[in-house]
Amino acid sequence: MFSLCTIAIIAWGWLGRDQSGLTAESGTGYALGIIGAVTMILLLLYPMRKRLSFMRRWGSVPVWFSTHMIMGIIAPVCILFHANFQLGSLNSNVALISTLTVAGSGIIGRFIYTKVHYGLYGGRVTLNALREDALTAKGRLSAEFAFAPQLRARLQAFEDRVLAPARNPLHGLVKVMVLGMRVRATRLRLSRFMSGAVRLKARQAGWTWRERRRNRRDARRFLSVYLRTVRQVAELGFYERLFSFWHVLHLPLFFMLVVAGVMHVVAVHMY
């Protein structure tokens, strides 16, 4: 909801930029620039909260993290309205582009974060936990389809393919990019196989329509859990390395923004 509201506000500002009357030099436009700049500086409080011992009792990390993300959106939106969605002098353009670059980096970081954590506010995902989840899901499927032993062999073949180590970073990137299509294709093939196996078993065992439907529903649920978990296992190493690289890159980008912002403020008020 917050994201949709933000997109709507940006679209409204963009479409009405010629009629808004906002100016960066005075009034509301000037105030939005101050609010955006101060909010950007306040973003440093979150990493300080995580690293400085005297701040560790200042509220829970999830609350700080949520506030950090919200401010990371509010600040660049304020700067966009401050600039009235238009380019200006060289120093203001550098500050604006730096702001948008850091905001874009934050959005990318948020996406990567969800790949190595249980959601936005959950703990860090571990490979061992994911492997245990995949093994459990595979065991449930195999037990449910004990009458179709070929299923376990097909599951193992899929697992061996997607969990094979990448030969190099580029190969790892390609594997992650095509993994979604591979998982969807495997889900379709295995769903068809399981439906056929259920029909055959239903005729042999004299299952009722209700029993057949329950077995199909349970099979689809276990299969979805298994495929999703194996996909997470396959992606985890790649996204962990990507998250580490993002951490190295994001902070220098932020300090570049601070320098550009200070230069912009000095230039505006001195000349």
Asked if residue 181 and residue 161 are part of one domain, the reply reads yes
Query: What per-residue confidence (pLDDT) applies to 119?
Result: 64
Asked if residue 108 and residue 10 are part of one domain, the reply reads yes
User: How many separate domains does the chain show?
Assistant: 2
Which residues of the chain have a pLDDT value below 50?
Answer: none
Asked if residue 170 and residue 137 are part of one domain, the reply reads yes
Listing DSSP states for 195-215 in one string gives HHHHHHHHHHHT--HHHHHHH
Asked if residue 264 and residue 173 are part of one domain, the reply reads no
pLDDT tens sequence across 206-236: 777 887 788 788 888 888 888 888 888 888 8
Which domain range does residue 85 map to? 2-123+246-270
pLDDT tens sequence across 71-120: 888 888 888 888 888 877 777 788 888 888 888 888 888 888 888 876 65
Query: What per-residue confidence (pLDDT) applies to 25?
Result: 74
Q: Are 238 and 173 in contact (CB under 8 A)?
A: yes
Query: What per-residue confidence (pLDDT) applies to 219?
Result: 80
Asked if residue 88 and residue 153 are part of one domain, the reply reads no
Q: Which structure tokens are listed for 46?
A: 């979150």
Asked if residue 68 and residue 170 are part of one domain, the reply reads no
Asked if residue 55 and residue 133 are part of one domain, the reply reads no
Asked if residue 96 and residue 17 are part of one domain, the reply reads yes
Residues in the chain: 271
Asked if residue 158 and residue 80 are part of one domain, the reply reads no
Query: What per-residue confidence (pLDDT) applies to 271?
Result: 61
Asked if residue 84 and residue 167 are part of one domain, the reply reads no
Check: pTM over 0.75? Answer yes or no. Answer: no
**Collapsed DSSP state (helix, strand, coil) of residue 5:** helix
Q: Which structure tokens are listed for 216?
A: 């199909």
DSSP bridge partners of 26: 23
Asked if residue 146 and residue 180 are part of one domain, the reply reads yes
Asked if residue 117 and residue 16 are part of one domain, the reply reads yes
Query: What per-residue confidence (pLDDT) applies to 7?
Result: 85
